Amino acid sequence: MSTVRIIGAPTDYGANRRGVDMGPSAIRYAGLADQLTSAGVDPVDAGDLVVPRAEERDPDADAPSEWNAKFLRETADVCRRLAEEVDETLAAGNVPLALGGDHSIAIGSLVGSARDAEIGAVWFDAHADLNTPSTTPSGNVHGMPLAAALGLGEFADTEWANASGLSPENVALVGLRSVDGAEADLLREGDFAVYTMSDIDERGITAVTEEAMATAAAGVDGVHVSLDLDWLDPNEAPGVGTPVRGGVTYREAHSAMEIVDETASLRSMELVEVNPTLDQHNETAELATELAASAFGKRVI
């Protein structure tokens, strides 16, 4: 039985709306450990990383002055510690499951997962999260983690560049429907495997997810699955800070996570962007726990 180590990263530094730092608690209270147990894995809870309150900090401290990236120093600090936890979890032969927090924590998951291995990544998200401090429309780092972990643009000068055994040919983005101008250029020109909602409409979630997982897994040691809850339609997942209409349904989401399990290449995973202050009766957190269970092998019979 594999052991899944839960690591909470209660940040909201990277998001425009506060409250996503309560995600790890909400996901635990929604029954994450029981769901994982019912999936046939053994959950171990590593607790939460210590994350200072945003109120204690200056959003612009230490970042190069021309950079539009709020709380970058704080985000870097959390991600450094998360990367360490993820790396140690893998070294012990276990599977890390990080709980956000906003999506900026993915920098830490990706860097940690890729520290001693070549990895791929599948990004289930309405957004591409490929902005950099010069292309971001918002200055919110949760719109930048994939660019940061790949060392794109200004991120080439940071500790993350070349630190990671992750390259664009092994990155698949699934469910896109809100992409900024510079991100669209990157996706058109780059080596990424890109699946918009239209591709899901045309080809079906099963074919798209199978191809995404196969592309991410090709020639590498394993795949990091990053699940941003705003990937789902806001009707299913209202508790997120940047909802976008037209997302995947409840059943499509489960179907995709079942394929993640069947591909048997899952190395590390994260559940991000659950914001309890925007949720209804914790249902988005509950959904996150169910989807994790599907990804780790839960079936009806």
Ligand X SMILES: NC(=[NH2+])NCCC[C@H](N)C(=O)O
Q: Which residues are annotated as a binding site for Mn(2+)?
A: 103, 125, 127, 129, 228, 230
Verify binding: residue 261, Mn ion, rule CB under 5 A: no
Q: Which residue number places its CB atom closest to ligand X?
A: 143
Among 12, 228, 261, 270, binds ligand X (CB under 6 A): 228
Identity of the residue, 26 or 39, whose beta carbon is nearer to ligand X in the bound complex: 26
Identity of the residue, 7 or 182, whose beta carbon is nearer to ligand X in the bound complex: 182
Of 52, 54, 48, which Cα lies nearest the Cα of 17? 54
Whether 185 is catalytic is no
Distance, CA of 153 to CA of 134 (rounded, Å): 8
Only segment of 109-117, 123-131, 147-155, 191-199 that touches ligand X (CB under 6 A): 123-131
H/E stretch holding 63 reads none
Q: Which of 74, 87, 154, 230 is catalytic?
A: 230
According to CB under 6 A, which residues from 150 to 209 bind ligand X?
Answer: 180
- What is the distance of C-alpha 217 from the center of its chain? 17
As given in the structure block, the two tokens for residue 106 are 């993915």
According to CB under 6 A, which residues from 234 to 263 bind ligand X?
Answer: 242
**105-to-144, 145, 190, 217 alpha-carbon distances in Å:** 10, 8, 23, 22
Whether 129 is catalytic is yes
Identity of the residue, 20 or 292, whose beta carbon is nearer to ligand X in the bound complex: 20
Verify binding: residue 129, ligand X, rule CB under 6 A: yes
Of 46, 212, 249, which Cα lies nearest the Cα of 122? 212
- CB atoms < 10 A from the CB of 200, how many? 23
Distance, CA of 162 to CA of 66 (rounded, Å): 23
Q: Which of 12, 102, 125, 290 is catalytic?
A: 125
At closest approach, how far in Å is the CB of 258 from ligand X? 24
Query: In sequence order, which residues have a C-beta less than 8 Å from that of residue 217 and are 6 or more positions away?
Result: 120, 170, 223, 263, 265
Binding map of Mn ion across residues 41-80, x = CB under 5 A, - = no contact: ----------------------------------------
Residue 193 pairs in a beta bridge with 172
230 within 8 A of 160, measured Cβ to Cβ: no
Binding residues: 103, 125, 127, 129, 228, 230
Cα angle: 45, vertex 32, 7; to 5 degrees: 35
- CB atoms < 10 A from the CB of 245, how many? 10
Only segment of 26-34, 78-86, 109-117, 124-132 that touches ligand X (CB under 6 A): 124-132
According to CB under 5 A, which residues from 124 to 183 bind Mn ion?
Answer: 125-127, 129
Distance, CA of 198 to CA of 185 (rounded, Å): 18
Residues that bind Mn ion (CB under 5 A): 103, 125-127, 129, 228, 230
Residues that bind ligand X (CB under 6 A): 103, 127, 129, 131, 136-138, 140, 142-143, 180, 228, 230, 242, 273
Residues annotated as catalytic are 103, 125, 127, 129, 142, 228, 230, 273
